[in-house]
Structure 1
């Protein structure tokens, strides 16, 4: 196991997610139970990965882990390494294109 970081200087070298980048990832995505349908790059340069279906705010639904825990099950996420700060990408199903748009976390 190696150390992970909540945020790293962006843009990433070679437009590739660093191996030690941490993210808040829903367990359903991390364990391959559900596909990643939402990826957010927050205003504070943090990353979020969700299944777009289950409530990520339920206690125990998410954990801080290496973003590659989600990419391993969702290889198309690799194309999102250039997602600007304050933007999110969503898709309806695996294999669908990612739609990008600005977003803000709700208080």
Structure 2
């Protein structure tokens, strides 16, 4: 797969420890201020479980994230389970 995100593969992002351990990504945030990304498991976020990793590390583990690679900065996307459609919302 060619790289389709707006940040390079080696750019740092935030990831829940659980998604790096195999849980599905159910929430994605693309921040407006610095165009950074966060990939979360959809549960209540605990900063103690946050990892700073290269975007490619997350996308390699979760290739279905290609579905949200075009998410504009300042938007978030959520889904109820892996394989379900993403709901995209502009952040306030």
TM-score computed with the length of structure 1 as normaliser? 0.72
Distance 2:77 2:53 in 1: 19
Query: Which secondary structure does the structure 1 equivalent of 2:61 belong to?
Result: coil
Gapped regions of structure 1 (runs ≥ 5): 1-13
Runs of 4+ residues deviating >3 angstroms: none
RMSD: 1.8
TM-score computed with the length of structure 2 as normaliser? 0.83
> Structure 1 or 2: larger helix share?
2
Task: Name the structure 2 match of 1:97.
Answer: 85
Bigger Cα Rg: 1
Gapped regions of structure 2 (runs ≥ 5): none
More contact order relative to length (CA 8 Å, sep ≥ 6): 2
Task: Name the structure 2 match of 1:35.
Answer: 24
